[in-house]
Amino acid sequence: LAQISQRKANKKKGSKSRRKLAKRESREHQRIARARKDHAYSTAHKLLKTGKKVFFHEKLNLKGLSRKNKPVQDDNGKYLPNGQSAKSGLNKSWSDAAFGQFFSIFNYIAEKAGVAVIEINPAYTSQLLPYRDEFVFTDCSIREYWDEIEQVSVDRDISAAINIKRVGLDEFPTIKRRKGKIVIVDSTTHLTSKAVLSVFRGLEKPAL
């Protein structure tokens, strides 16, 4: 698609070759749209075939996720790196994945099957270890954490997914801000820590 669009842009407006490429571009957009929709339906049906009666998912701010980063300037007015180049790649990934369309389709199919799909407020779920009340993913660049205490590797995305489920089951700790600091005021994490740790240990690759 990118190659077709680029070739079209290089052709003279109103030319026969440009019109021909425009038609190809339109067909390619339609093909991609069908592929995304088919993938969404296929994934939704696979999830429902697991037999689960309740699904929790993070409430996504899709508009905010695709918004450009604000420019950053130093004291002299010079523009500083603001992470937009990395964000652009992420924005494209969000667009390609078509999460909004997927959740619409999933909700529709799940409702017909009598299955509940519940949106969860993701506050702190990506930062906190799901088996110990400790904030380790304090920076977005940290994708994996090695726990010296438990001798286990923790993937940030899997950790966040478990925490989303914990919120849905009312097992996530109560977290508040006091004088600018994040404080855990109530927690039952210790009751499920062994079960959660077994998940991460089960994901580890055996030594060769």
80 SS3 class: strand
Split at pLDDT 50, 70, 90, the class of 208 is very low
Question: Distance between CA 193 and CA 138 in Å, rounded?
Answer: 21
Mean pLDDT computed over every residue of the chain: 85
**Per-residue model confidence as pLDDT tens digits over 51-69:** 999 999 999 876 655 556 5
Question: Distance between CA 171 and CA 163 in Å, rounded?
Answer: 9
Most confident of 61-65, 98-102, 172-176: 172-176
Question: Distance between CA 168 and CA 165 in Å, rounded?
Answer: 5
pLDDT tops 70 at residue 87: no
Split at pLDDT 50, 70, 90, the class of 43 is very high
Question: Distance between CA 160 and CA 56 in Å, rounded?
Answer: 12
Alpha-carbon distance values, 137 to 182, 193, 195, 199 (Å):
14, 18, 21, 18
